Amino acid sequence: MKRTVFTVLLWVTTFTLFSQKSLDSSAVAEDFKIFENILKNGHPSLYEYTSKDSLDYLFNAAKDSFTNELSDIDLYKKMIQITDNVKDGHLLLFAPETIKTDQHYFPLILKIINSKFYADTDDFGIPIGSRIDTINGNESIKILEKLKKYSPTDGYNLTKKYRDIELKFGLFYAYEYGLTKEFTIVYTEPNGDRKTKKITAESFVKVKLRNTRRHSYFAHFHNQKNGFDFFSKYIGNKAPFVYYNDELSTAVLVINSFGGDIRVFKSSLVKIFKEINEKKVRHLVVDIRNNDGGFRPNAVHLFSFITQRTFKQIISEYVVSLSIPEKDYVTRTFLNEKQSLTDKFKNHPVYDGWKLNFDDMEAIMVPDPNRFIGKVYVLTGGSTFSAASTFALCAKNSPNITLIGEETGGGYYFYNGEFPVFYEFPNSKITLLMSLEKIEQHVKDTSIPHGSGVPPDKYIKLSLNNLIEGKDPLLDYIYRMIKG
């Protein structure tokens, strides 16, 4: 019996750690020093939310622990502790490719409501809306707390963290607890029955396909079948598209991304708004709940079609350095350093860096001649980030537009972006993505707490009943309001 237990424990340990790479203390120290130099010499808002003394303490505590060999995933976790305290949603840290999670992924599709996990599909005989109480003996609330650090967000915002954890739960769980072949789930069904079930891990491909059947994508609300076709059209579609509720004289414009070619995006908007205006609809809903950003000009062009007056987006751009730090470890940049960093800022020095106090895109921030002139609503969520969050802020600043949903994942007062740089550390092969510019935004309401996302005018969150019924609470609210 003892031999059997020992064999099982040995197999579990081997299975959990087989894909990790061991690094000696000098290799760990080298990678961590590069990591520290990049942040301290290039990050534009490093001490915005955590003081220099506090961050230095975290850096030093990590370095003091580098006395023995360390696995690449453990080094990744130590770096994550630092980046999580910087509180920058554009500061991304990617685990090395040696961490192979693709074949052993947590299989349940989960939704977070009021800081609790609920089943978002009816797989494995677990009813939709069942509360997940424990996973392999770990309480869900403690799991959620441990996984928060893997999702970067602007400031103290939690909505983006929760949306990220929902989509990447299997990945984050593997980082925190190791690869696991089987999961024991204790859950409470909507009727109150408490049950236990064992579930085998699955491949990432299978779990990704099952994700398309989330009840929280609200296929039932649109009288459509929940599955890949609906997901592909409404959620995965990155091109702007519009559908109509003719009974309510309402158009719903879905913008899931501000990425893609700027000219193509503008051309699509011209066609869409021509159609909307020809239909003479009286209400327009702009849905950016699943929009994690892209190119700012696309957000500017869209807002020009729904505003009745000139508008502003940003008031300053700031960098701490005129050159990219630790260039030897840069693997990719999207912009020319001399043109978009050095030459752009060199004539605008301030005490601790360089700062532009103007927006060179302001000349195009005017109403489009073919703009929509009816009532406009903008739907936001935790996944609304970067350029999409900036768009939401423009709506927030406008007295004629109603912002509905939950707080955006992007920061209210500022965000970091515009000049992203990819790094790879030489020993661990951990990848870092850092943006070099701090963008201060134009705001009208200065009472919003520091570190918040853009708050909606009308806060509406998903309830457990909404999840079970597959009812979109935001669109349902707007439709009922229009009906009067």
Within a 10 A sphere around the Cβ of 159, how many other Cβ atoms? Answer: 22
Q: Is the predicted pLDDT of residue 254 greater than 90, yes or no?
A: yes
Q: How confident is the model over 88-105, as a mean pLDDT?
A: 83
State how far the Cα of 114 lies from the Cα of 159, in Å rounded to an integer. 11
Q: Partners of 135 in the beta sheet?
A: 138, 185
Chain center to CA of 296? 17
Q: Is the predicted pLDDT of residue 298 greater than 90, yes or no?
A: yes
Q: How confident is the model over 325-335, as a mean pLDDT?
A: 94
State how far the Cα of 392 lies from the Cα of 273, in Å rounded to an integer. 19
Helix (H, G, I), strand (E, B) or coil at 194: strand
- Residue 132: its H or E element: strand 131-135
99 — pLDDT class (breaks 50, 70, 90): low
Q: How confident is the model over 10-31, as a mean pLDDT?
A: 66
Q: Is the predicted pLDDT of residue 16 greater than 50, yes or no?
A: no
101 — pLDDT class (breaks 50, 70, 90): low
Residue-level pLDDT at 69: 84
1 — pLDDT class (breaks 50, 70, 90): very low
* Rg of the chain taking only CA atoms, in angstroms: 24
6 — pLDDT class (breaks 50, 70, 90): very low
Interaxial angle between packed helices 140-147 and 159-177, expressed in degrees from 0 to 180 and rounded to the nearest 10? 100
12 — pLDDT class (breaks 50, 70, 90): very low
The residue type found at 439 is I
Q: Is the predicted pLDDT of residue 58 greater than 60, yes or no?
A: yes
Residue-level pLDDT at 51: 96
482 — pLDDT class (breaks 50, 70, 90): very high
- Residue 468: its H or E element: helix 464-469
Flag the least confident range among 95-104, 114-123, 244-253.
95-104
The residue type found at 333 is T
State how far the Cα of 58 lies from the Cα of 2, in Å rounded to an integer. 42
Q: How confident is the model over 209-221, as a mean pLDDT?
A: 94
Full-model pTM: 0.92
State how far the Cα of 348 lies from the Cα of 359, in Å rounded to an integer. 14
Average per-residue pLDDT for the chain: 92
Flag the least confident range among 101-105, 139-143, 147-151, 161-165.
101-105
Rama region for 471: left / alpha / beta (φ>0; ψ in -120 to 50; rest) = beta
127 — pLDDT class (breaks 50, 70, 90): very high
pLDDT in tens, 389-402: 999 999 999 999 99
23 — pLDDT class (breaks 50, 70, 90): confident
CB 215 within 8 A of CB 168: no
State how far the Cα of 466 lies from the Cα of 315, in Å rounded to an integer. 40
Q: Is the predicted pLDDT of residue 137 greater than 50, yes or no?
A: yes
Residue-level pLDDT at 7: 32
Residue-level pLDDT at 100: 64
Rounded to 5 degrees, φ, ψ at 343 are: -65, -35
